[in-house]
């Protein structure tokens, strides 16, 4: 099943475009949606999740018209928003059972089986009787994935899921997502470049409501191959270099800024060619709209 997004527009009352002619085709597997805060990622996710209307355009999930057949979409959708609220003093089993009942599973025995299987899948079965409000951030996110999977969805959307998670929890969370992505469409919306590189073969970069790049990660890296140069400079030199070159990123290495410059040719003495990475793609594409 494919998700086809064509010429999607959404403009707010203040004249700002949340979505500006967005077109994407997303296949089964993990798809990374990269962009800074305010890029339009959450607006796109909310539109796909039937929580926000678009002004124009079309979205088809297989033969389902996402913009017009919202109930059909919700039957096959799993959605984990940025802020996933939980009920205090309610156990994981009780809360997931309640959510399964809302999703239409009226048979108690069937719900028990679904709940137990999902909690085992996300490695929460041993703490199933504990209140979800007592869970760590990573455990709550894994519980969020469990509720996403009720009813065997064909589209799973996760919006900025790893903020505040330690590396161990992040890895556990992404192992679960990767397993899910073998059979359904999983859209991972994030501003963390490393997450997309590690998990996704397909990706898009958004900024200011526009899609700046879409394709596979190898194509993204190839698009800047041989065009990124680096040099270590003194801190006081940074404004000068930013004015003279297209500096796409800088970070402190040994107390000195290491700058990456985007240029078709060697920009000057003491620059060396940098090994391209997805972070450079991200900053180069974002810089095109600056």
Residues 284 and 248: beta-carbon distance below 8 Å: yes
**Residue 162 reports pLDDT greater than 80:** no
**Residue 85 reports pLDDT greater than 90:** no
The 10s digit of each residue's pLDDT in 143-155 is 988 999 998 899 9
The first and second tokens of residue 229, run together, are 């140069």
- Contacts with 91 (C-beta within 8 Å, 6 or more apart), sequence order: 128, 129, 130, 131, 132
Q: How far apart are the C-alpha atoms of 248 and 232, rounded to whole Å?
A: 14
Q: Higher pLDDT residue, 190 or 233?
A: 233
Arithmetic mean of pLDDT over the chain: 90
Question: What percent of the chain shows pLDDT beyond 90?
Answer: 60
pLDDT of residue 60: 97
Q: What's the predicted TM-score (pTM) here? A: 0.86
How does DSSP classify residue 39? S
Q: Higher pLDDT residue, 254 or 3?
A: 3
Contacts 24+ apart (CB under 8 A), 145-149: 145/78, 145/80, 145/173, 145/176, 145/177, 145/180, 146/92, 146/96, 146/118, 146/119, 146/121, 146/122, 147/78, 147/80, 147/96, 147/99, 148/78, 148/79, 148/80, 149/78, 149/118, 149/121, 149/180
Which residue blocks in the chain are alpha helix, DSSP H? 41-48, 70-75, 92-102, 108-121, 137-148, 167-180, 193-199, 217-222, 238-244, 278-287
Least confident among 89-98, 133-142, 228-237, 257-266: 133-142
**Residue 181 reports pLDDT greater than 60:** yes
Query: What residues are paired with 25 via a beta bridge?
Result: 4
Q: What is the mean pLDDT of residues 185-206?
A: 89
Q: In what order do the strands lie in the sheet with 56-61?
A: 17-26, 3-11, 56-61, 64-65
């Amino acid at each position: 099943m494919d998700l086809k997004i064509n010429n999607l527009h959404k403009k707010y009352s203040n004249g700002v475009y949340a979505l500006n002619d967005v077109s994407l085709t997303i296949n089964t597997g993990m798809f990374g949606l990269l962009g800074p805060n305010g890029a339009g990622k959450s607006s796109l996710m909310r539109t796909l999740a039937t929580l926000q209307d678009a002004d124009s355009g079309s979205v088809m999930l297989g033969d389902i018209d996402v913009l017009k057949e919202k109930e059909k979409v919700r039957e096959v959708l799993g959605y984990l928003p940025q802020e996933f609220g939980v009920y205090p003093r309610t156990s994981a089993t009780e809360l997931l059972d309640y959510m399964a009942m809302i999703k239409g599973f009226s048979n108690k025995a069937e719900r028990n089986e679904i709940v137990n299987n999902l909690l085992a899948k996300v490695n929460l079965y041993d703490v199933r009787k504990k209140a979800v409000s007592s869970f760590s951030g990573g455990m709550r996110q894994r519980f969020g994935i469990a509720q996403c999977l009720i009813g065997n969805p064909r589209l799973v959307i996760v919006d900025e899921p790893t903020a505040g998670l330690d590396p161990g929890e992040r890895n556990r969370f992404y192992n679960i997502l990767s397993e899910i992505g073998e059979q359904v469409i999983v859209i991972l919306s994030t501003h963390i470049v490393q997450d997309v590189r590690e998990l996704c073969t397909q990706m898009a970069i958004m900024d200011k409501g526009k899609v700046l790049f879409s394709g596979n990660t190898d194509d993204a890296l190839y698009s800047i191959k041989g065009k990124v140069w680096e040099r270590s400079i003194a801190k006081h030199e940074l404004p000068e270099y930013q004015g003279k070159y297209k500096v796409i990123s800088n970070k402190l290495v040994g107390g000195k800024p290491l700058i990456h410059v985007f240029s078709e040719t060697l920009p000057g003495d003491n620059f060396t060619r940098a090994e391209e990475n997805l972070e450079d793609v991200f900053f180069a594409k974002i810089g095109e709209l600056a």
